[in-house]
């Protein structure tokens, strides 16, 4: 069984993966053990662990406005850090699987395929797309454009007019064993529906909210998942 090293072991998804995984041979490394901002540290970490695959989960996500307020931190962790992981993987001939986001798409027309053009609508999306650029330069790689959230749904309100592919972290854990041997780019998410419909299934008390002009969010963020469905 292939050995997979997971970066960012203190992150939300990594914790769920560690708790729920039953099929993959995983080892988890935190930022002290594998510092993505230090290439030498990364190479030494990977040499010692001798993984077949790096599942790159380390980076910066929330709070979302941190990417607007602290651009340097966003660039360092999501672009420079990812580029360092790619450099280390290339140096040691190790495959990288990169967790990106559906936010790289414009969110204007919906039903986005992997071959469609990308144009992020916020700095978080730009930072993840920057990471994708580095990963795409290395052929032994897989990019998963994921739309997921915590379980239970943590917000009190959900948009009725914003269409997305939300799923929970636990769902990605189930998908991963069937994806790790693939290469290229794969959209990963749940059924295309309003965020409100998704949330209401798990929290009947969720309150409706309509995204308006004061909330600059594109309303058709859903991705085409045909490629994913053929694999799982």
| Residue ranges per structural domain of the chain | 3-152+165-191
Does position 214 have pLDDT exceeding 80, yes or no?
no
Mean pLDDT of 167-176: 97
Does position 215 have pLDDT exceeding 80, yes or no?
no
CA proximity to 144, closest of 100, 105, 85: 100
**Residue 177: per-residue pLDDT:** 97
**Residue 63: per-residue pLDDT:** 84
CA proximity to 135, closest of 81, 98, 105: 98
Distance CA 66, CA 117 (A): 25
**Residue 217: per-residue pLDDT:** 84
- List pLDDT tens digits, range 16-63: 999 999 999 999 999 999 999 999 999 999 999 999 999 999 999 988
Distance CA 62, CA 11 (A): 11
Contact 229, 114 (CB under 8 A): no
CATH dotted code for 3-152+165-191: 3.40.50.720
Q: What percent of the chain has pLDDT over 70?
A: 99
At 216, the pLDDT band (50, 70, 90 cuts) reads confident
Stated pTM of the model: 0.96
**Residue 78: per-residue pLDDT:** 98
**Residue 62: per-residue pLDDT:** 85
Mean pLDDT of 85-106: 98
CA distances in angstroms from 50 to 61, 75, 95, 227, listed in the order given: 28, 28, 12, 31
- List pLDDT tens digits, range 111-132: 999 999 999 999 999 999 999 9
**Residue 64: per-residue pLDDT:** 84
- Count of beta carbons in the 10 Å neighbourhood of residue 189: 24
- Count of beta carbons in the 10 Å neighbourhood of residue 139: 9
């Amino acid at each position: 069984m292939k050995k997979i090293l997971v970066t960012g072991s203190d992150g939300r998804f990594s914790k769920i993966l560690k708790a729920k995984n039953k099929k993959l041979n995983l080892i988890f490394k935190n930022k002290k053990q594998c510092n993505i901002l230090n290439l030498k540290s990364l190479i030494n970490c990977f040499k010692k662990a001798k993984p077949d695959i790096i599942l790159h989960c380390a980076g910066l996500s929330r709070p979302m406005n941190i990417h607007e307020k602290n651009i340097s931190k966003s660039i360092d962790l999501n672009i420079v850090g990812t580029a360092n992981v790619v450099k280390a993987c290339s140096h040691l001939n190790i495959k990288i699987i990169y967790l990106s986001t559906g936010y790289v798409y414009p969110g204007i027309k919906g039903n986005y395929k992997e071959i469609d053009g990308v144009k992020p609508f916020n700095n978080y999306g730009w930072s993840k797309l920057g990471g994708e650029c580095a990963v795409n330069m290395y052929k032994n790689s897989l990019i998963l454009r994921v739309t997921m959230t915590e379980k239970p749904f943590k917000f009190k309100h959900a948009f009725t007019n914003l269409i997305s592919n939300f799923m929970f972290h636990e769902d990605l854990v189930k998908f991963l064993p069937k994806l790790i041997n693939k290469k290229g780019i794969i959209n990963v998410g749940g059924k295309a529906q309003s965020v409100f419909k998704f949330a209401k299934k798990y929290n009947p008390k969720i309150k409706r909210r309509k995204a308006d002009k004061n909330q600059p969010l594109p309303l058709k963020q859903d991705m085409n998942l045909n490629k994913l469905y053929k694999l799982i």
